[in-house]
Structure 1
Amino acid sequence: MLFASCSRDVFDEYYGRPDYLEDPIYQQLDVRGNFKNFLVLIEKAGYKDILSKSGYWTIFAPNDEAFTKYFQEQNISDVSKIDDATASKIVKYALVYNAFREDQLSDYQSGQGWVKDNAFRRRTAYYDGFQNKIIDGTPRVIVDANRNGAYVIGDYNNKYVTYFTDEHFAAANLSSADFNYFYPTSDYTGFNLFEGKVKEADIIAENGIIHEVDKVSLPLLSIGQYLEQDSEKSNSKYSLFRSILENNLVSYVFNENVKASYYNFTGKTDDVYVKFYNPSLVFSPNNENYIKQADNDGQSDAYTLIVPENAPLQTFVNQVLLKHYTSLDKLPLYVFQDFVNAHMVQNAVWPSKATSYDNGVGEDLRFDFNSDITDKKILSNGFFYGTNKVQKSNLFYSVYTSAYLDPNYMLATRLFNDGSGIKEMVSNIRGKFVLFLPSDSLLRSLGFDYDVNSSIWVYTNPTTQQRITAGPARARLYRVLYNCIVATPNGELDNIMTTSGIIRTGDLDFPGEYIKWNNGKIFAAGNEEKGTQVTITGKDIQQNGVTYYIDNIPQFAEDPQGKKIKALAGVAGSQFSAFYNYLKNSTLYNAATDAIQGVALGTSYTFIIPNNAAIAQAKLDGVLPASDNPALQGDKDKVADFISFHILVDKTASDDGLTTGQFETLRKDGLGEKTYVNVASTSGTLSFRDLNSMRTANYVKAQSNNLADRSLIHLVDNYLKLPE
């Protein structure tokens, strides 16, 4: 017995609570004497026992001064008037998981370790859980999504608190002005919890750390809840935006596992639904977590939603969204997705740095945060800004808009949107474009369509009825539509109805083919080949250019370029005839198809064709044999080299200044090495120079810029001499 008693004493001494250990949180608050009201709420909430034992908490404890202000704000006499449910909210929202000193709160607990001074938020013990709502007139039990577009069992979607520290502000290049933007009547002290001051930090307890605050904080609303609360007011400011969001981008999905959790929690057997926002949105306004790529990423960032008030939004709806639709419910889903994403940012947008953020469609924010913002709130899952204007998104003010918001042009829009890159190009309001826009009915009459059941493009040749599908059909339509886009930085087509000329389609980074225009009509190589034309029937002026509506398409050529040269040479008195006579008899030419060896359809070329006098000089100089149909192989090779050297590969040069420099020809030397010609072009001039004799061949303007398959054919006044 003596031995057992001694053993127990040794055990208790070794494992007993050390004398130097501070009291637990509850006892610390009790001893300090200025947390009497908060202690009452802790007991009402059932947290006395939890906070009196071991644990690992941070608690932002409101002192009695804070409660005196709270009683006045709530028009109640004392703490006894606070019910148990409210007590629980206040206590749980004051509790942060894990113990953090003031100097640790500004650090982000990333999966790779602590990131110094990169945090301004922490997850609390409070969550909303199951909620009873009336959805479309039907009572339902719902829970909010706890991921963007998803729900994970076991994650309770806990709300966050936001605090402001000197350390984080310095690291993020923020200042007290960012704090006062949200809380203009509060003082920034270097350590604030929301608008409240931390009166004393780092009160050490056995089971955590206490920070004394002078403000009582009830759980803040999420962004989604803030919109919902506003919509219930008679003077709602954002009800139109919320209706667009809720009516088109929200779904309620029954979840058996959540129903089981609800039963275990309440004993009730109601069906439970998860409220999901469309997964295309950059965030779900009801998701209290951040992106959740890492467990704690909500410490270092949050969401931002910028919401236009009803009046400016209604004007936008009437003038833009419904320009070609009768009502909002007729709009395609992607319009709502883009519109809402244009007002979302997957970051906390600090007012002093608003110009450095991009919205959910990749644009800068086009708001003046000094004059356009009428409401600003820090909420549980991010920042909310109310505004007196709509984001002037590229998607709604560009030539792209003409197709995007008109049900008559959905085939073009579908291709623009499918990763082709066209959407991004023509919706850039900082560029300037002309878009020639074919309607769905026109494209279908020419054989193009989209099979929604199989999700594939279809092309049926109107003449032969031959049908192709999927990639080849899409590629054909893509080429047609790319020929309908012209970068016009200097308004080159502003007077298209009264002028004529030639211009390159596409943009500077990805050039397209050349087309011509003449007094309101346009022609691509295929139109000239088939004897058709495209007439402009109307226009739509947008911020970045003009959309011209058309009655036909700028068709691409499908005949070999040799056929076009043949046609040019067949005109009486043609200056192309001498060159063609050598070409047609050369080893490069296929007389049956008019194809030129080494020249592939669908690839860009420039044909530099010396006129009859230049060919005659080449014969005199011995560069070409005297006969245009030589018998000797050496002379045949000489002709083939001459012709190949006058064809530029993968480059289409015109007199527009867009193509200058040294470019590869079709001709290879005896060792298989590439040969090059220099191109000089300005607006209205075009010349070519060989790098051997430095001979220059100037284009003959009146007979140049002839269209062929992805090619231009120019008549020049000299020949180019091959390298020795």
Structure 2
Amino acid sequence: MKFYKLLALLSVGVAGVFPTACTDKYEDMENHMPSWLNSNIYDYLSGRGDCTYYIRLIDDCGYTDAMKVSGSNTLFFSNDASFERFFQTNEMGYRSYEDLPYSFKMMLLKLGTIPYSQLLERLSLSDRGQVTFRRTTDFEVEDTIPVVDAEDLPDSKYFAPYRRAGKPIKLLSDATKWTLVQFFPDVMSGKHITDDDFSFVTGIPREADDASLFANKIIQKDIVCQNGYLHELADVLVPPENMAAYIRGNEKVSRFSRLMDRFACPVFYKRDAQGDSIFQTRYFNQSPAYSFTEYNGTNAPGLLYFDPGWNLYQPKGGNTSQPGYETDMGCMFVPTNEAMDRFFSPSGEGSDFFEAFGSWDKVPDNIAADFVANHQKYSFLSSLPSRFGDIKDEAGYEMEVSKENIVDKFVGRNGVVYVTDKVFTPLDYRTVMGPAKIDSLNSIFNQAMTDAQFVYYLRSLKSTYQFFVTPNEYMKDYVDPVAKSYASENYRCNLEFQLTPQNTVAAVPTRTSDGTVIMDNGFPLGSNGTVSNSSILKNRLEDILNCQTLVTESNEAFEAARAGGQEYFITKGYAPVRITQDNKISGAGNERPLTVSKIYNKENGNTYLIDGILQNTTTSIYDVLSSKDDFREFYDMCALLGIFVNNPTSSTVAPGRKVKFLNQYHYTVYVPTNEAIREAQAKGWIPTVGQIENEGDQSVRDSLENVMERFVRYHFQDNSVFIKGEKVENKAYLTSTINEASNKFYPVYVTNKDGNITLVDEADYGTGRVSARVVKTEGVYNLMTRDMTLNSGDKEKATTIEAYTYAVIHQIDDVLWFEQPKGENVKDQK
């Protein structure tokens, strides 16, 4: 029901008189009255002859004497022609003066009365001389207390008991004072509101020096009387509703209104003289100055940015030297029903909403709150039409709104409502996070994104992601890499993730062999046998999310790479994943490929639903090199040089052994065949392990070790390169051997195409020769590894992954050289 209609049901009258303030007292005033000074307010209006309705207001409300005596008031009034138009057009059914209730007459009179005599120029400023956009008047919130029928109450579960009772209740739209919105010349210039802004928002043209209250033009200003100033309005000053009441009463936006009113609550205000309860309507919100986050001890199901019914609304971060409501007001962009239906359809922008819920009424409260809040702006002044090109939502992203999107406007007492022909989807639902946030079947992954603070990455529109989401039913069988390092097999476990009643993620440790729950695990367990330690869980969720997020140049580039045969990709956390042409995906540790069941195209990439967790490998570089006879010669050199270390500190340890000079990144290790290494040794290019071990002269041994280490490190390359990985042509990647002359690392040049990897080393660069090729024998190429560091000096007490290194290992058919080798034969004669 519109507020205008509610006024017909007003139950409480007005008592008291207008407050006045002391002004100069003129002695012998009648003999010293200036000729330009009108008589008192009452006599001036009565003498005009065209203000009979306003005189009747004053008389009927008992303010005849107050308007005659010397005092200090500012009055906004309307002439008889304005009242006649009002009687012909108002929606409340008042067709004559005699139809007006006493309380409505009092409202008309008090709303237009301001204490103290104020010229219009002075009304533009606060008592401290600051520009005042809105101000209060003599009207008090308790002067009119609407009685609202049960069927017209907000449609929320909090109002449901009163709706079911079927009885009207006394309900304030808000228990704070009403304000006037001043579009005065000094306010317009001080707030940088253009004439075009005003005309667009109010629908009336504006000329220089025009002044208006709301969209009501002042046709005569600064009329001076003995006891105050008068300003004549073009129309009767009927107070506009606040934003919430306008939205609820506008049938064209009823879909949006129903969502918004889910967060409306009847809050007890006081009892009136008859002992009846008076309530006020409050909306759950997170605004700094008027937040409302629980009702009768129950937390809000979702929070709007601000309460759209708050009459004394003030933007966030108010100015302490001036009441916040005087400086600005709120703003809302409210989609029409047609726009809402277009969005919420199988082919609309919100197709994933439609797929998950089927109707707006079934959208969960937390999502509905996000949706409504995203259509709120804290500041009308930052949302002026002249600023639409730069306007951002409250998350800081472009709203992409234009004047053409606005189909209607409303200037209320606490803000402006723009009715739009489009829906402004919250950022999180426009991005690859959307499917996880929308569908409750993905709620564990949704909470994981928050707990692991991944939302800050995934909501970026400056990056493109391929994001793999695991539904709740598949959030299990995660091979825990820390637990796998424990000596006791009883402590080694998989984790099965679950969502707690408190909406946090927990994990049940299960035995790796048979899946039974382990109640005595190396991790701290709660009384219910779950891992609930936040640092452990965040660590594992980060591990999963890092492995299930690809950062790509664009969707088109990603699809083009796949179409060209690329199957191996490097994730955000440097983990390798494989995506085959039949949409099967696997991590280095998965026992079987996972299936992509659905793909969502979002603004910053694609979201894929998969039937499992992409599992990282727990195999280290040391594990691979030490276990294969094909890698024996290279491993022996690495072992002699002490490249594999553990070196626990008081706070860190590796589960086994790791390469000492690699960082948290991804690498390629090229392992020459045993025969190629022996041939290089036979030519004297590199020493043998036996030579070094048997060398008695320490300086000679140091020199030989230096030759061997520089050779070995040249086979460790930055960036992981895979057969069926990214296609490159003669691309330079840095190795781990430094050029002592330039103090830069030597490169190796890689060509990866047609299912083959060929290498040109620095010694051969420019000669046109291929230095080595990756051997494509099963079991000696595309071998994926991860070296880890754990968070304790004792791995049996470790609980989290502290750091890691990913690497892929390939056998190559020859050795690589960063410079011409020295020895019996130079490389040119090879």
The TM tier, using the shorter chain, reads 0.7 to 0.9
Deviation at 1:382, TM superposition (A): 0.9
In structure 2, the CA distance between the partners of 1:93 and 1:648, relative to structure 1 (3 Å rule), is farther
Aligned residue number for residue 667 of structure 2: 606
SS at 2:433's partner residue? Answer: helix
Query: What whole-Å deviation, never above 9, does each CA across 1:149-177 have from its counterpart, x for those lacking one?
Result: xxxxxxx4122222323444445554332
1:381 equivalent among 399, 406, 414: 414
- 1:266-285 equivalences in 2 (<5 Å): 266-270=273-277, 272=279, 274-279=281-286, 280-285=303-308
Change (3 A) 1:368 1:694: same
Q: Which residue of 2 aligns with 1:84?
A: 102
* Aligned partner (choices 172, 177, 183) of residue 164 of structure 1: 183
Amino acid in the other structure paired with 2:807: L
Aligned amino acid, residue 103 of structure 1? E
SS in 2 for 1:479: helix
Aligned CA distance change for structure 1 residues 291 and 542 (closer, same or farther; 3 Å): same
- Measured in 2, the distance between the counterparts of 1:699 and 1:642 equals 18
Deviates more, 1:29-38 or 1:435-444: 29-38
Aligned letter for 1:606?
Y
Query: How far did 1:227 drift?
Result: 2.3
Asked if the contact 1:678/1:688 (under 8 Å) is kept, the reply is no
Give 1:7's aligned residue: none
Give the residue type in structure 2 aligned to 1:210.
L
AA aligned opposite 1:281: L
Which residue matches 2:484?
A: none
Q: Which amino acid aligns with 1:707?
A: M
Following superposition of structure 1 onto structure 2, how do residues 225-304 of structure 1 map, counting pairs within 5 Å? 225-230=245-250, 236-246=251-261, 248-253=262-267, 255=268, 258-259=269-270, 262-263=271-272, 266-270=273-277, 272=279, 274-279=281-286, 280-291=303-314, 293-294=318-319, 296-304=323-331
Q: Do the aligned residues in 2 keep the contact of 1:624 with 1:638 (CA within 8 Å)?
A: no
Does structure 2 conserve the Cα–Cα contact (< 8 Å) formed by 1:202 and 1:210? yes
Q: Decide which moves more: 219-228 or 536-545.
A: 536-545
| Letter aligned with residue 463 of structure 1 | R
Alpha-carbon distance in structure 2 between the residues aligned to 1:44 and 1:364: 53
* 8 Å CA contact 2:265, 2:283 repeated in 1: yes
Tell me the CA shift for residue 440 of structure 1: 0.4
**CA shift in 2, pair 1:491/1:91, >3 Å:** same
Question: What amino acid is the match of 1:421?
Answer: F
**Map of 1:369-518 to 2, 5 A cutoff?**
369-370=403-404, 372-418=405-451, 420-422=453-455, 424-427=456-459, 431-444=463-476, 446=478, 447-453=495-501, 455-464=503-512, 465=518, 466=521, 468-469=531-532, 470-488=534-552, 489-494=554-559, 496=562, 499-506=565-572, 512-518=574-580
Size of the alignment, in residue pairs? Answer: 660
Give 1:410 shift.
Answer: 1.2
1:314 — aligned with what?
A: 341
CA distance in 2, matches of 1:373, 1:699: 65
1:10-25 to structure 2, matched below 5 A, reads: 17=26
- What letter matches 2:496 in structure 1? F
SS at match of 1:67: helix
Query: Does the Cα contact within 8 Å between 1:448 and 1:477 map onto a contact in 2?
Result: no
Partner AA of 2:444 in structure 1: L
1:4-403 paired onto structure 2 within 5 Å: 17=26, 26=41, 29-30=44-45, 33=48, 35-48=51-64, 58-74=74-90, 79=97, 82-96=100-114, 100-107=118-125, 114-115=129-130, 119-129=132-142, 130-133=145-148, 134=150, 135-138=162-165, 139=167, 141=169, 143=171, 156-170=175-189, 172-189=191-208, 190-203=210-223, 209-230=229-250, 236-246=251-261, 248-253=262-267, 255=268, 258-259=269-270, 262-263=271-272, 266-270=273-277, 272=279, 274-279=281-286, 280-291=303-314, 293-294=318-319, 296-319=323-346, 320=351, 321-325=353-357, 328=360, 330-348=362-380, 349-370=383-404, 372-403=405-436
Q: What amino acid maps onto 1:249 in structure 2?
A: F
In structure 2, give the amino acid aligned to 1:638: N
Q: In the alignment, what sits opposite 2:634?
A: 579
Is the CA contact 1:522–1:533 (under 8 Å) kept in the aligned structure 2? Answer: yes
Looking at structure 2, the residues matched to 662 and 545 of structure 1 have their Cα atoms a distance apart, in angstroms, of: 28
Which piece of structure 1 moves more, 552-561 or 360-369? 360-369
From the superposition, tell whether residues 586 and 431 of structure 1 become closer, same or farther in structure 2 (CA, over 3 Å).
closer
The question of whether the paired residues in 2 share the 8 Å contact of 1:585 and 1:628 is answered with: no
Change over 3 Å in CA distance of 1:52–1:296 after alignment to 2? farther
Q: Is contact 1:345–1:359 with CA below 8 Å preserved after alignment?
A: yes
Partner residue in 2 for 1:9? none
Partner SS for 1:494: helix
Write the letter of the residue equivalent to 1:217: L
Please point out which of 785, 796, 812 is paired with 1:708. Answer: 785
3-state DSSP of counterpart to 1:301: coil
Q: CA deviation at 1:559?
A: 3.5
The question of whether the paired residues in 1 share the 8 Å contact of 2:136 and 2:177 is answered with yes
In structure 1, give the amino acid aligned to 2:658: I
* Alignment equivalent of 1:534, drawn from 581, 594, 610: 594
- Alpha-carbon spacing, 1:23–1:611, altered in 2? closer, same or farther (3 Å): farther
Identity of aligned residues (%): 16
Match of 1:596 among 642, 648, 658: 658
Quote the offset at 1:289 in angstroms: 1.8
Once residues 204 and 578 of structure 1 are traced to their aligned partners in structure 2, the CA distance between those partners, rounded to angstroms, is: 105
Deviation at 1:610, TM superposition (A): 6.4
Partners of 1:631 and 1:131 in 2: how far apart?
A: 101
Secondary structure of the residue aligned to 1:241 is helix
TM-score normalised over the length of structure 2: 0.67
Query: Which one is further off, 699-708 or 326-335?
Result: 699-708
Contact 1:200 1:212 in 2 (8 A): yes
Tell me if 1:638 matches 2:706.
yes
CA–CA separation in structure 2 for the residues paired with 1:145 and 1:160 = 14
**Structure 2 CA distance for aligned equivalents of residues 700 and 177 of structure 1:** 70
Pick closer, same or farther for the CA change 1:351–1:317 going to 2, 3 Å: same
Structure 1 pair 452–77 and aligned structure 2 pair: CA distance change class (3 A): closer
Q: d(CA) in 1 for partners of 2:608 and 2:111? A: 58
1:288 and 1:381 in contact (8 A); partners too: yes
Instruction: Report the CA distance between 1:412 and its aligned residue.
Output: 1.0
Measured after TM superposition, the shift of residue 350 of structure 1 is: 2.0
* Displacement of 1:641: 6.0
SS of 2:535's equivalent? helix
Q: What SS does the corresponding residue of 1:365 show, helix, strand or coil?
A: coil
Structure 1 runs not aligned, ≥5 long: 1-13, 147-155, 231-235
Against the structure 1 CA distance between its residues 452 and 114, is the aligned structure 2 distance closer, same or farther, given a 3 Å change threshold? farther
Q: Mark the CA change 1:517 to 1:62 in structure 2 (over 3 Å): closer, same or farther.
A: same
AA partner of residue 238 (structure 1): V
> Which runs of no fewer than 5 residues in structure 2 stay unpaired?
1-22, 151-161, 287-302, 479-494, 513-517, 524-530, 647-653, 787-804, 820-830
Judge conservation of contact 2:73–2:228 (CA < 8 Å) in 1: yes
Cα contact 1:120–1:162 (8 A) shared by 2: yes
How far 1:302 moved relative to its partner? Answer: 1.6
Question: What is the aligned counterpart of 1:718 among 816, 820, 823?
Answer: 816
Cα root mean square deviation, aligned: 4.6
